[in-house]
Amino acid sequence: MAQNSSRQVGRHFLHIPGPTPVPDRILRAMDTPMIDHRGPEFAKLAKRCLDGIKTIFKTTNPVIIYTATGTGAWEGALTNTLSSGDKVLMVETGQFGALWKKMADKLGLQTELLATDWRTGVDPKVIEKRLSEDKKHEIKAVCVLHNETSTGALSPIAEIRKAIDAAGHPALFMVDTISSLASTDYRHDEWGVDVTVGGAQKGLMLPPGMSFNAISNKALEANKTSKLPKSFFDWQDMLNLNKSGFFPYTPATLMLFGLDVGITMLHEEGLDNVFARHDRLAEATRIAAKHWGLEILCKDSKYYSPTVTAILLPEGHNADQFRAMALETFNISYGASFGPFAGKYFRIGHLGDVNDATMMGCLATTEVALQLFGVPIKKGGAQAAMDYLLSQHGAAKKQAAE
Ligand SMILES: *Cc1c(COP(=O)(O)O)cnc(C)c1O
Average pLDDT score, the chain? 97
Report the separation in Å between the CA atom of 198 and the middle of ligand 1, taken as the mean of its atom positions. 8
Give the pLDDT mean for 1-25: 87
Same domain, 259 and 292: no
Annotated binding site: 347
Q: Which atom of ligand 1 is nearest to the CA of 17?
A: 15
Give the pLDDT mean for 163-172: 98
Q: Which atom of ligand 1 is nearest to the CA of 71?
A: 9
pLDDT of residue 397: 87
Report the separation in Å between the CA atom of 97 and the middle of ligand 1, taken as the mean of its atom positions. 10
Report the separation in Å between the CA atom of 101 and the middle of ligand 1, taken as the mean of its atom positions. 13
Q: Is the CB of 338 under 6 A from ligand 1?
A: no
List, for residues 73-108, the tens digit of each pLDDT value. 999 999 999 999 999 999 999 999 999 999 999 999
Return the higher-pLDDT residue of 10 and 323: 323
Residue that finishes a domain, picked among 267, 285, 319 = 267
Confidence of residue 7 (pLDDT cuts 50, 70, 90): confident
Q: Which atom of ligand 1 is nearest to the CA of 148?
A: 13
**In this model, does residue 37 exceed pLDDT 90?**
yes
What is the number of residues in the chain?
402
CATH of the domain at 142: 3.40.640.10
Confidence of residue 3 (pLDDT cuts 50, 70, 90): low
Q: What percent of the chain has pLDDT over 90?
A: 95
Rounded Cα–Cα distance for residues 149 and 277 (Å):
18
Pocket-testing residue among 20, 96, 147, ligand 1, by greatest number of atoms within 8 A of Cβ: 96
Report the separation in Å between the CA atom of 258 and the middle of ligand 1, taken as the mean of its atom positions. 19
pLDDT of residue 177: 98
Residue that finishes a domain, picked among 216, 245, 267 = 267
Q: Which atom of ligand 1 is nearest to the CA of 73?
A: 9
Q: pTM surpassing 0.75?
A: yes
Torsion, Cα 181 182 186 192, to 10 degrees, reads 60
**What are the CA-CA distances from residue 318 to residues 84, 325, 341 (Å)?**
43, 11, 11
Same domain, 253 and 283: no
pLDDT of residue 137: 98
Q: Which atom of ligand 1 is nearest to the CA of 209?
A: 7
List, for residues 20-29, the tens digit of each pLDDT value. 999 999 999 9
Report the separation in Å between the CA atom of 339 and the middle of ligand 1, taken as the mean of its atom positions. 16
4 within domain boundaries: no
Q: Is the CB of 145 under 6 A from ligand 1?
A: yes
Q: What percent of the chain has pLDDT over 70?
A: 99
Domain that holds residue 255: 24-267
**In this model, does residue 2 exceed pLDDT 60?**
no
pLDDT of residue 354: 98
Same domain, 327 and 375: yes
Same domain, 298 and 168: no
pLDDT of residue 396: 87
Pocket-testing residue among 16, 99, 144, 149, ligand 1, by greatest number of atoms within 8 A of Cβ: 149
Residue that finishes a domain, picked among 216, 247, 267 = 267
Give the pLDDT mean for 277-293: 98
List, for residues 187-205, the tens digit of each pLDDT value. 999 999 999 999 999 999 9
Report the separation in Å between the CA atom of 360 and the middle of ligand 1, taken as the mean of its atom positions. 26
List, for residues 128-160, the tens digit of each pLDDT value. 999 999 999 999 999 999 999 999 999 999 999
Same domain, 256 and 285: no
**In this model, does residue 5 exceed pLDDT 80?**
no
Report the separation in Å between the CA atom of 4 and the middle of ligand 1, taken as the mean of its atom positions. 36
Confidence of residue 257 (pLDDT cuts 50, 70, 90): very high
Same domain, 262 and 358: no
How many domains in the chain?
A: 2
**What is the SS3 string spanning the chain?**
CCCCCCCCCCCCEEECCCCCCCCHHHHHHHCCCCCCCCCHHHHHHHHHHHHHHHHHHCCCCCEEEECCCHHHHHHHHHHCCCCCCCEEEEEECCHHHHHHHHHHHHCCCEEEEEECCCCCCCCHHHHHHHHHHCCCCCEEEEEEECEECCCCEECCHHHHHHHHHHCCCCCEEEEECCCCCCCCCCCCCCCCCCEEEEECCCCCCCCCCCEEEEECHHHHHHHHHCCCCCCCCCHHHHHHHHCCCCCCCCCCHHHHHHHHHHHHHHHHHCHHHHHHHHHHHHHHHHHHHHHHCCEECCCCHHHECCCEEEEECCCCCCHHHHHHHHHHHHCEEEECCCHHHCCCEEEEECCCCCCHHHHHHHHHHHHHHHHHCCCCCCCCHHHHHHHHHHHHHHHHHHHHHC
Confidence of residue 4 (pLDDT cuts 50, 70, 90): low
Q: Which atom of ligand 1 is nearest to the CA of 199?
A: 7
Annotated binding site for substrate: 347
Q: Is the CB of 176 under 6 A from ligand 1?
A: yes
Same domain, 151 and 292: no
Same domain, 229 and 325: no
Give the pLDDT mean for 207-218: 98
6 within domain boundaries: no
Same domain, 215 and 348: no
Q: Residue 295, Cβ neighbours under 10 Å: how many?
A: 17
